Structure 1
Amino acid sequence: MVRHSSPLDPVTASLLDRTAELGHPALMQVPAEQATLLTLLTSLTGATVAIDVGTFTGLSALSMARGLAPGGRVITCDVTDDWGIAREHWEKAGLTDVIDFRVGPALETLRSLPADLVVDIAFLDADKDNYENYYRLLHPRLRSGGLLLVDNVLFNGYVMAPDYADPGVMRDSAHALAAFNSVLAADESMDVVILPISDGLTVARKK
C-alpha cells in the first residue's frame, strides 16, 4: 500500500526508522499509510484546531500538522516525553511552532482546554479504557462537519469476542473498545465507519 501512495518525506521516513529501533514499543506507532491518511483528512477538513490524544514518538501529530490550514495548530498530549524522538523530528520538519505538546494525563489535558475552543479534527490513540471518556469530552467541542478518528478499534479482532483476549489489560481493553464502538455507532449525531486499516480505524463525522 505504501508503494502506491504518496512517497514519504525524509522526516517521516526518519521518524519511522528511529521508532522501529525502539523494538517492541514501536508497535504503538501508527503505520505509514495511516500517517498519510491523517494528513489528507486534516487537510480536507480545512482544520485549524486538531487534537491528538496519544503522542508517542510524534508521528500522528507531525502528520496532522502537515495538513493544517494556515494559522492552525495541533494540541497533542501524552503521559510521558521519555522517547525524545518527537520534538527532534517536529523541529526538522519546521513544525514546532504549530505543535503544542502537553505532558500529563489526557483527561486532564482535555478538561483544561478553553471552554470556547472549537475542534475541527481529533485523533484518539491512547489508553483504550478511556476512549469513551475522551469522546464525551471531545464531542461537544467538535464542530459540525468535524472528524473524530479512532485507532485500534478492531483490536486484533478481539472486539468481536473480548473474553478470548488474554486476561488483564488486553481483555479489559477489548471490552472497553467493544463498548465504545457500540456507543459511537449508536450516536445519531455522528456518521460512523470503521475502516480495516492496520488494527482498525474509525472515521466519524459530526453532523
Structure 2
Amino acid sequence: MASDKEDGAPKSQASGQHHKDLSHKSLLQSDALYQYILETSVYPKEHQCLRELRDLTERHPWNAIAIPPDEGQFLNMLVKLINAKNTIEIGVFTGYSLLATALALPQDGKILALDVNRADYELGLPVIEKAGVAHKIDFREGPALPVLDQLLTDEKNKGAFDFIFVDADKENYLNYHKRTIELVKFGGVIAYDNTLWNGSVADPPEVPQLDYIKHSRGFVQELNKALALDPRIEICQLSIADGITLCRRIT
C-alpha cells in the first residue's frame, strides 16, 4: 500500500477517460457557487497554518487525496461541538485534516494518527509544529487494522474515544467500522469520508468511470448499506466535499 489515504488519483491518471470534472472535490454543480462558499465562509476563517499546509499539499503529486478546506472547517467545528478530547484519524496524508482536528482539541487533547506513509506526514509536520499542536498527535506508521486490533485487546480502550475520522483505503472501510464502533464511546461520532465517491454511488453500471473510482465504488456502496442497517448508530450523510457520513453511537 502506498498510503492509507487512497481516496483520489493524480490528474495524469484521469487522461483519456470520460467522467465529470474533477477540478474540485465538491459535488456542487456550480464551480462559482463552490468558490463563493470558500471565499465568503472558509478562507476568511481559515487558520494561517491550515492555509500554509493546504498550499504545501497542493504541490504534492497526489494532492487530490487531501480533504478540501470546507471539509476541514466542518471537522474543526464538529470536534468543538461535541467537546472531543480523545480521537483517532485513519488516513493522514500531509495532515490537513489532522491539523484541523488538532486545532479544535483542548491543549491536553490527543489524536492517534495512523497512516502507512510517514514521509507524507513529515512534509506537513513542520507546519503542525508551527501551529503549536504537534504534542497532541501520536503518529504511527503502518496499516491501521493491526493497531486498532491491538487497542481492542485492552478493555480500557473500548468506548474511550470521542471522535474517529476515517479517510483511508475504501477496501477496508467495513473492517475499520467493525473496530471503530467498539472504540468510540456511546454518544461519540465516527466520520467516514468519500461516502458519495465522486457521485458514482448513484450512477448506473453502464456509466464510464475512472479506474480508481470504479475500483472502490462497490466498497463505498457496501459501507453505505451497512451503516444504514447498523442498529448501533444514528447516521447523517452530508454532501460536503466528496460526501461524509457521520455515525453517532447509540448502543
In structure 1, what residue type is equivalent to 2:167?
D
Cα 1:66–1:165 change in 2 (3 A) is: farther
Moved more, 46-55 or 82-91: 82-91
Name 1:4's counterpart in structure 2.
40
TM-score normalised per structure 1: 0.93
Within-5 A mapping of 1:175-186: 175-186=218-229
Q: Work out the CA distance in 1 between the residues paired with 2:56 and 2:117.
A: 18
Instruction: Measure, in 2, the Cα distance between the counterparts of 1:75 and 1:134.
Output: 14
Q: Gapped runs of 5+ residues in structure 1? A: none
Contact 2:235 2:246 survives alignment (8 Å): yes
CA distance in 2, matches of 1:126, 1:70: 26
Higher mean C-alpha deviation, range 61-70 or range 87-96 = 61-70
Change over 3 Å in CA distance of 1:162–1:145 after alignment to 2: farther
Given the alignment of the two structures, is residue 158 of structure 1 paired with residue 195 of structure 2, yes or no? no
- Report how many residues are paired: 206
Q: Secondary structure in 1 aligned to 2:139? A: strand
The CA deviation string for residues 119-148 of structure 1, in whole angstroms up to 9 with x for no partner, is 100111010110110011010111111111
Q: Which of 1 and 2 has greater Rg?
A: 2
Equivalence for 2:239: 196
Per-residue Cα deviation, 1:177-201 (whole angstroms, up to 9, x for no partner):
0010000011122111111111111
Shifted more, 99-108 versus 114-123: the winner is 114-123
Partner of 1:116: 156
What percent identity do the matched residue pairs reach? 32
Residue aligning to 1:174: 217
Give the residue type in structure 1 aligned to 2:182: P
User: In structure 2, how many angstroms separate the alpha carbons of the residues matched to 1:162 and 1:43?
Assistant: 39
- Structure 1 counterpart of 2:92, one-letter code: T
8 Å CA contact 1:162, 1:175 repeated in 2? no
Cα RMSD between the aligned structures? 1.7
- Which of residues 147, 151, 167 is equivalent to 1:125? 167
State TM-score, norm by structure 2: 0.77
Contact conserved, 1:51 with 1:121, CA < 8 A, in 2?
Answer: yes
2:99 to 55, 62, 84: 62
Decide which moves more: 91-100 or 164-173. Answer: 164-173
Per-residue deviation, 1:9: 1.5
Distance (Å, rounded) in 2 between the aligned partners of 1:174 and 1:91:
36
Q: Is the 8 A contact 2:195 2:220 kept in 1?
A: yes
**Letter of the structure 2 residue corresponding to residue 116 of structure 1:** K
Structure 2 unaligned segments of length 5 or more: list them.
1-36
Task: Report the AA paired with residue 46 of structure 2.
Answer: L
Of the three residues 117, 133, 143, the one matched with 1:95 is 133
> Equivalent residue for 1:85?
123
Distance in 1 between residues matched to 2:244 and 2:129, nearest whole Å: 28
The answer to whether the 8 Å contact 1:129/1:172 transfers is no
Q: Secondary structure at the match of 1:112?
A: helix
In 2: Cα distance, 1:162 partner to 1:183 partner: 20
Q: 2-side partners of 1:131 and 1:20: how far apart? A: 26
Aligned mates of 2:115, 2:204 — CA distance in 1: 26
> Structure 2 CA distance, aligned partners of 1:139 and 1:44?
20
Preserved contact between residue 158 and residue 165 of structure 1 (Cα < 8 Å): no
In 2, distance between residues paired with 1:165 and 1:87?
38
